[in-house]
Chain A
């Protein structure tokens, strides 16, 4: 079956530090890949996505590149801010029943950025 593995948290960084959150996946098909972000007390929001090999998704200074050869989709940001403190989820979308595409999530990585 499909699975997503993320680096364990929590991750604590100082403001303006470089961020990497590792994500690897296992899939039987050719999935689309996503990063979602969850701010405290809120639901998940789509941060970025990539749908084919070597695609780079980007949003709000975050980037991730779809690497089929290493089955990875690592999230990076060059300079984090306190407002980036949240839980980040890596996910893949693959074909399920009745023509629907379902998301399989990693366990999430909590990021805390300190001033």
Chain B
């Protein structure tokens, strides 16, 4: 019963480097999303997807790309890392399409530091 799996748990990047944060879920959820968590800011939505092949921007999409080739996977790509992207990143999934009362299942997070 894995739920939502995020890798890696920790990562240090140099400014300008690129990387991909992985997210996989085994619950056949249609909805997946990426949030970043910063002190005093709560969680802010980066990108989300309502199914394979469909993605859309959230509140803070700049500097990030996503794709959804399968129901299970929703990777987040940092194209050219900047210190402002230092944060904790959470992936979440839900069976919430069309149903407002479903909660989200969160991964355990990736702590990213850009130096």
Interface residues of A (CB under 8 A from B): 31-32, 34, 36, 41-46, 49, 51, 89, 93-103, 105-108
Question: Quick check: B50 and A100 within 8 Å, CB to CB?
Answer: yes
Question: Quick check: B106 and A43 within 8 Å, CB to CB?
Answer: yes
* Residues of chain A within 8 A of B106, CB atoms compared: 43-45
Chain A nearest CB: distance from B76 CB in Å?
15
* Residues of chain A within 8 A of B40, CB atoms compared: 107
Known: A44-B106, A98-B56, A100-B48. A105 touches B42 (CB 8 A): yes
List 7 A-B pairs, minimum CB-CB distance, nearest first: A43-B106, A107-B42, A46-B103, A51-B101, A98-B50, A105-B43, A44-B106
* Residues of chain B within 8 A of A106, CB atoms compared: 42
Q: How many B residues touch A, CB cutoff 8 Å?
A: 28
10 chain-A/chain-B pairs, Cβ below 8 angstroms? A32-B101, A43-B4, A44-B106, A89-B43, A95-B100, A97-B56, A99-B98, A100-B97, A107-B40, A107-B42
B75 within 8 A of A: no
Q: Which residue of B lies closest to A106 (CB)?
A: B42
